[in-house]
């Protein structure tokens, strides 16, 4: 039995709660994808590998809960219950594995990261910098731009005050080699048009469409075959569940980088949100709203306080 101390908010929480990932699941059902906390009780088989009080994380549907039964195989042992470690579970692992498997990063490549100051964007920026790439990041405020510069982003584009398309055309006339794309809609079209010869666009999400009833905003795809052929370019989709064989290595590496001080894991507890810090399960909906308003810098995390008079 696992007692959750922090849970992570993901853009796709809204897809899951809307029944788009598994339409066969009928409400009411548990939601949330990731949690970190400690072991409070053990089954027989688990007691060989775990101890009560041990810090663990887990990634599976239904993590928005104070207590959860987690199969021993699915628990991920951690050095301590730090919210920073939660940032690796979905967001960090997505950036790490997708760029490693699909990005073919090498020194001097130009990498465009959309929603760069978000939960997963922050990792795409830093991992591309670690591979000695030139990194361009889009964001929605000067404050986010400042954060991106602090983690090594070479060119930040605040799309509220600058025209992304003209900046890319003017400053990167040869195009960009890799795009880490999580916005969709118009941003997808811009990114596609900005690809260099043999460039690759990695789709890890399309948050712009998640609040629509269908979940998708149309993109101008009619010219897609011609655009790809003209540049020998490619579009690759990435869904973490298909790459679980790479997961342990990714986590190990991310943890090592963090412990060496080579990785910033920005956590946003919503202190600046209108009603203050995200505390308790009842604040999950506020945290999701905050993300969709584009307010967060880094990974949104909700803290679940535990009273001394635990229900157990």
| DSSP state string for 96-135 | HHHIIIII---TT-EEEETTTTBTTHHHHHHHHHHTT-EE
**Would you give the distance in Å from CA 306 to the centre of its chain?**
26
Q: Does 220 fall in a domain?
A: yes
For position 216, what pLDDT does the model report? 72
Q: Does 142 fall in a domain?
A: yes
SS3 264: coil
For position 23, what pLDDT does the model report? 84
Residue ranges of the chain with pLDDT lower than 70? 217, 307-312
Q: Are residues 58 and 134 in the same domain?
A: no
Q: Are residues 105 and 219 in the same domain?
A: yes
For position 48, what pLDDT does the model report? 85
Q: Are residues 290 and 229 in the same domain?
A: no
What are the pLDDT digits (tens) for 124-174? 999 999 999 999 999 999 999 999 999 999 999 999 999 999 999 999 999
HSE-up of 137 (CA within 13 Å, CB side)?
32
For position 211, what pLDDT does the model report? 84
**Residue 36: enclosing H or E segment and its boundaries?**
strand 34-39
For position 312, what pLDDT does the model report? 53
* CA 184 – CA 295 distance, rounded (Å): 18
Q: What percent of the chain has pLDDT over 90?
A: 85
Q: 146: domain range?
A: 90-241
Q: Does 257 fall in a domain?
A: no
Q: Are residues 66 and 24 in the same domain?
A: yes
**Residue 17: enclosing H or E segment and its boundaries?**
helix 13-17
* CA 8 – CA 10 distance, rounded (Å): 7
For position 115, what pLDDT does the model report? 98
Count other Cβ atoms within 10 Å, centred on residue 51: 10
Q: Are residues 118 and 196 in the same domain?
A: yes
Predicted TM-score (pTM) of the model is 0.95
Q: Are residues 199 and 75 in the same domain?
A: no
Q: Are residues 116 and 221 in the same domain?
A: yes
For position 307, what pLDDT does the model report? 58
Q: What is the CATH number of the domain that holds 274?
A: 3.90.180.10
């Amino acid at each position: 039995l696992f007692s959750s101390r922090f849970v992570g908010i993901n853009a796709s929480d809204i897809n899951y709660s809307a029944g788009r990932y598994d339409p066969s699941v009928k409400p009411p059902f548990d939601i949330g994808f990731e949690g970190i906390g400690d072991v409070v009780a053990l089954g027989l088989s688990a007691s060989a590998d775990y101890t009560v009080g041990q810090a663990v994380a887990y990634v599976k549907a239904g993590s928005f809960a104070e207590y959860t039964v987690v199969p021993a195989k699915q628990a991920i042992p951690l050095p301590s219950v730090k919210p920073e470690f939660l940032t690796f579970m979905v967001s960090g692992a997505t950036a790490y594995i997708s760029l490693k498997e699909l990005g073919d990063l090498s020194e001097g490549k130009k990498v465009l990261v959309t929603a760069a100051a978000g939960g997963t964007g922050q990792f795409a920026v830093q991992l591309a910098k670690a591979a000695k790439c030139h990194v361009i990041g889009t964001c929605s405020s000067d404050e986010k731009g400042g954060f991106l510069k602090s983690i090594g982003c070479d060119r930040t584009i605040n799309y509220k005050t600058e025209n992304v398309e003209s900046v890319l055309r003017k400053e990167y006339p040869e195009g960009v080699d890799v795009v880490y794309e999580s916005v969709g809609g118009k941003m997808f079209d811009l990114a596609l048009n900005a690809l260099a010869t043999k460039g690759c666009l990695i789709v890890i999400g399309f948050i712009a469409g998640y609040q629509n009833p269908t979940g998708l905003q149309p993109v101008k795809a009619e010219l897609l075959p011609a655009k790809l052929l003209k540049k020998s370019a490619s579009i690759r989709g990435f869904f973490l569940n298909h790459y679980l064989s790479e997961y342990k290595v990714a986590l190990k590496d991310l943890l090592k980088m963090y412990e060496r001080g080579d990785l910033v894991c920005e956590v946003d507890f919503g202190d600046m949100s209108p009603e203050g810090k995200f505390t308790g399960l009842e604040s999950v909906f506020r945290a999701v709203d905050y993300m969709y308003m584009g307010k967060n810098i880094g990974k949104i995390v909700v803290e679940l306080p535990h009273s001394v008079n635990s229900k157990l």
